[in-house]
């Protein structure tokens, strides 16, 4: 067998082997590489290169290295899925670096991090003041996770005590001028509904680059022609304002009328509307 | 007709009534499109509240039309 054929065959075989091997551990590995994973990759890569180029005196020795270095990590990986102890050995454990707002110098030393390292890692997390940190831990892949003190954490609707409506993922129903049927049916809508909505804004579907429908049925359109202004959906804002105006009108009528019977009716109606407004606000305003 | 009362009371009440009817229809449309059960319940309840006000106002406009017959059917 000529040398070039030999090398080509080896390379092809190893290429397929490595491709299959790297697919086996699943998604997790892609983003969370531990030191151990990196080492394995280096050994596998080096050996593969050596075998491909026919640098080893015997083919078997290279194959044995490959077998050991792929079987051991794989079996360790499957063990670590099953057992916590194996997981601690293979992936290591996360280390608490800051607890209750106090830096734990011992863990810092154990993680081989200096105070500057900690500060710079905190800064990459947009934390510039160590006094704001309640808890920070070093994950097994070297990422730092930070929990801010309650008064320094970003406000959420819950901490503000604001009621919010439910919202699910918007569906992309038009891409590159083509109507996508599957996302439409996922929302319980159809082409005819979409055409009606498009006609309302006066846009042909062919002119739409991206069209999205949120879970409330409001359509957002991005056109090929960026100079054309598309009106953004305002149904909900308008509804809220209309109801608010009606409620104010009713209060006015209650003041104007001299008839006590209708004054009571206007007052009650105004109250009913303000109750409806209170309940609708989280759904209509956002 | 009482003294000092604007002559267009029936007209403005009817305007409010029309706005409210439109609002009720919009709320009902939103309710029919809503997938989340909790939000739909809120919308249905609000539609009911608005419908109650619409009924009360309709009754009132009938009385006003009787008082201001020149604005009947406005």
Q: What is the pLDDT of residues A93-127, one digit of tens each?
A: 888 999 998 999 999 898 888 999 999 999 999 99
How far apart are the C-alpha atoms of A141 and A144, rounded to whole Å? 9
Which residue in chain B is spatially nearest to A187 when comparing CA positions? B35
Task: Please give the residue range of the domain that contains residue B52.
Answer: 14-67
A77/A111 same-domain check: no
A276 close contact with B: CB closer than 8 A = yes
DSSP H or E run through A152: none
Verify that A9 and A86 share a domain, yes or no.
yes
Residue A159 included in any domain: no
Q: Is the dihedral of CA A125, A130, A136, A139 positive or negative?
A: positive
The answer to whether residue B58 is domain-embedded is: yes
pLDDT for B52: 92
Q: Assess whether A99 and A177 both reside in one domain.
A: no
Q: Is residue A155 part of a domain?
A: no
Q: Looking at residue A135, what DSSP letter applies?
A: E
Examine the domain organization and report whether A100 and A72 are in the same domain.
Answer: no
Cα–Cα distance measured from residue A145 to residue A141, given in angstroms and rounded to the nearest whole number: 11
pLDDT digits over A6-18, tens only?
888 888 988 998 8
pLDDT digits (tens, 9 = 90+) for A150-192: 888 888 888 888 777 667 788 899 999 888 889 888 888 889 9
Contacts of B59 in chain A (CB under 8 A): 265
Predicted confidence (pLDDT) per residue in A263-280, tens digit? 899 999 999 999 999 888
Higher pLDDT: A187 or A137? It is A137
pLDDT score, position A7: 86
Report the distance separating Cα A271 and Cα A153, nearest Å: 38
| pLDDT surpasses 50 at A128 | yes
In sequence order, what E strands does A122-270 have? 133-138, 144-148, 171-175, 178-179, 208-213, 219-223
Query: How sure is the predictor about B3, in pLDDT bands with cuts at 50, 70 and 90?
Result: very low
CATH of the domain at A116: 3.30.240.20
B1 assigned to some structural domain: no
Q: Do residues A35 and A83 both lie within one domain?
A: yes
- Enter the ipTM: 0.81
Residues of B in contact with A242 (CB under 8 A): 19, 22-23
pLDDT at A286: 57
B68 pLDDT higher than 80: no
Percent of chain B with pLDDT strictly greater than 90: 34
Taking CA–CA distances from A245, the nearest residue in chain B reads B16
Specify whether A7 is located in the same domain as A83. yes
Q: Looking at the domain assignment, is residue B72 inside a domain? A: no
Lowest mean pLDDT among A226-235, A239-248, A262-271: A226-235
Structural domain contains residue B6: no
Is residue B52 one of the residues assigned to a domain?
yes
**Structure-block tokens of residue A125:** 């997390």
CB A163 within 8 A of CB A170: no
In this structure, is residue B49 part of a structural domain?
A: yes
User: How many C-beta atoms surround the C-beta of residue A49 within 10 A?
Assistant: 12
The pLDDT of residue A26: 61
Among chain B residues, the shortest Cα distance to A238 is held by B23
Within a domain: B55: yes
Residue A144 lies in domain: 95-148
Q: pLDDT tens, A64-77?
A: 988 898 888 888 88
Contact assignment for A280 to B43 by CB distance below 8 Å: yes
The residue among A45, A68, A90 that closes a domain is A90
CB contact A168 to B (< 8 Å): yes
Beta carbons of A22 and A44 less than 8 angstroms apart: no
- The answer to the question of residue B36 being in a domain is yes
Looking at the structure, do residues A29 and A76 belong to the same domain, yes or no? Answer: yes
Total number of domains constituting chain B: 1
A282, with CB counted inside 10 A (0-12, 13-18, 19+), is middle
């Amino acid at each position: 067998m000529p040398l070039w054929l030999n090398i080509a065959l080896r390379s092809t075989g190893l290429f397929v082997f490595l491709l299959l091997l790297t697919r086996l551990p699943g998604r997790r590995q892609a983003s969370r590489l531990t030191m151990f994973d990196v080492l394995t990759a280096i050994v596998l890569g080096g050996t593969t290169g050596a075998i491909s180029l026919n640098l080893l005196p015997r083919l078997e020795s290279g194959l044995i290295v490959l077998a050991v270095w792929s079987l051991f990590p794989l079996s360790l990986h499957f063990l670590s899925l099953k057992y916590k102890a194996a997981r601690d050995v293979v992936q290591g454990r996360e280390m608490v670096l800051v607890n209750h707002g106090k830096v734990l110098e011992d863990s810092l030393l154990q993680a081989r991090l200096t105070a500057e390292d900690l500060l710079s890692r905190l800064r990459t997390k947009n934390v510039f003041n160590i006094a704001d940190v309640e808890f920070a831990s070093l994950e097994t892949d070297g990422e730092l996770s930070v929990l801010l003190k309650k008064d320094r954490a970003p406000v959420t609707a819950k901490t503000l005590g604001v009621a919010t409506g439910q919202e699910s993922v918007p569906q992309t129903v038009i891409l590159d001028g083509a109507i996508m049927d599957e996302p439409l049916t996922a929302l319980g809508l159809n082409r005819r509904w979409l055409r009606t909505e498009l006609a309302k804004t006066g846009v042909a579907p062919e002119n739409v680059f991206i069209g999205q429908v949120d879970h409330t049925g409001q359509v957002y359109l991005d056109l090929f022609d960026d100079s054309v202004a598309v009106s953004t959906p305002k149904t909900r804002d308008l509804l809220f304002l209309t109801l608010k105006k009606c409620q104010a009108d009713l209060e006015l009528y209650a003041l104007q009328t001299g008839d006590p019977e209708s004054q009571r009716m206007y007052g009650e109606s105004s109250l009913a509307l303000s109750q409806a407004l209170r309940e609708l606000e989280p759904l209509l305003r956002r | 007709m009482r003294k000092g009362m604007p002559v267009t009371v029936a007209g403005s009440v009817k305007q409010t009534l029309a706005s409210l009817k439109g609002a009720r229809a919009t709320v009902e449309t939103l309710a029919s499109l809503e997938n989340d059960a909790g939000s739909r319940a809120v919308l249905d309840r609000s539609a009911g509240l608005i419908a109650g006000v619409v009924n009360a106002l309709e009754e009132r406009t009938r009385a006003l039309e009787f008082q201001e017959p020149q604005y009947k059917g406005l």
